[in-house]
């Protein structure tokens, strides 16, 4: 008799010097024949929350990636680097001033809200079909265009020159290395990131994460979270057996008893069975008075 397929989410505390790919590979080893994928990479330098989706939960990766993230980031002022962190070629900035805390605090408001940010040259951003870091490592010049990112909160948590520690809460696509780089430039000092801890991704917090070196078959099964944790706050709609078959075929079902605001066309709804298991994510279609599935988790 085959074992039941896994369908859930892992909150893993990634250590430094381990790639996100290595973490996923370890999970794949433990959950085979189920698949797994991470919902937002962490550089080898970084530690903290790495969300790994298992089985059909890989269809939730994009939704997890879109959730806000929190970081504790450490920077060294008076330095610059080709990678914007200490893993690259670090040089001291000639004539860099010794910065006072009050000067840094005066600059921070400019980096909160919707801001323009140029990604680091050593990043996963695509440039003409290739990753920017691949071009940079090949010695090719990388010209990246600014893009809009969102920073919700930015606060100094520790400062003893030249070391600056910031608490950062930001939206998807924000490069923390670039925040430090740009603050350093604004100060006329330069800055490189020396340490990074991702403390939260949406509802997944580092204090609740399982350490990577403790991953075993037993601990993984105990740590596998309900996939609905990725869509907390999304209204639910219970489907009966007939509606479940419609969803299985990719067809819509009547709106029925669903706590969703009238006129909110396109709003997501989580469709569950009577036991609360996630069957599908659907969008409200007011024209047909139905819920149209766009992610289906039923085999």
Question: In angstroms, rounded to a whole number, what is the distance separating the alpha carbons of residues 192 and 199?
Answer: 20
Cβ-contact 182, 189 below 8 angstroms: no
Among residues 167, 153, 161, the alpha carbon closest in space to that of 191 is found at 161
287 included as an active-site residue = no
**Distance, CA of 182 to CA of 161 (rounded, Å):** 17
Per DSSP bridges, beta strands 191-201 and 47-55 are parallel
Q: Please identify which of the residues 43, 84, 85, 182 carries the catalytic annotation.
A: 43
Contacts of 235 (CB under 8 A, 6+ apart): 258, 259, 260, 269, 270
> What DSSP string runs through 70-111?
EEEEEEEETEEESSSBTTS-EEEPTTPPPPPHHHHHHHGGGG
Is residue 133 within a helix (H) or strand (E), and if so which, with residue range? helix 132-137
| Active site amino acids | 43
């Amino acid at each position: 008799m085959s074992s039941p397929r896994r369908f859930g989410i892992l909150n893993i505390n990634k250590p430094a010097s381990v790639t996100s790919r290595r973490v996923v590979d370890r999970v794949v080893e433990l959950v085979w024949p189920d698949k797994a994928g991470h919902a937002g990479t962490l550089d080898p330098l970084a530690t903290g929350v790495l969300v790994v989706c298992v089985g059909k939960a890989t269809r939730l990766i994009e939704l997890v990636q879109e959730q806000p993230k929190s970081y504790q980031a450490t920077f060294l002022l008076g330095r610059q680097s080709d990678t914007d962190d200490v893993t690259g070629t670090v040089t001291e900035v000639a004539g860099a001033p010794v910065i006072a805390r009050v000067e840094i605090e005066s600059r921070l408001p400019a980096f909160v809200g919707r801001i323009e940010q140029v990604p680091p040259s050593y990043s996963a951003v695509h440039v003409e079909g290739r990753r920017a870091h691949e071009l940079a490592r090949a010695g090719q010049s990388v010209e990246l265009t600014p893009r809009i990112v969102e920073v919700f909160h930015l606060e100094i948590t520790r400062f003893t020159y030249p070391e600056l520690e910031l608490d950062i809460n930001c939206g998807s696509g924000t490069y923390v290395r670039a925040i430090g780089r740009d603050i350093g430039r604004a100060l006329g000092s330069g800055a490189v990131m020396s340490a990074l801890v991702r403390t939260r991704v949406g509802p997944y917090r580092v204090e609740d994460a399982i350490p990577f070196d403790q991953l075993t078959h037993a601990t993984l099964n105990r740590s596998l979270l309900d996939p609905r944790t990725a869509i907390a706050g999304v209204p639910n709609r219970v489907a009966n057996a007939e509606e479940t078959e419609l969803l299985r075929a990719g067809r819509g079902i009547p709106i029925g008893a669903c706590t969703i605001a009238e006129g909110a066309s396109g709003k997501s709804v989580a469709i569950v069975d009577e036991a609360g298991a996630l069957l599908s994510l659907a969008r409200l279609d007011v024209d047909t008075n139905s819920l149209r599935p766009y992610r289906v988790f039923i085999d």
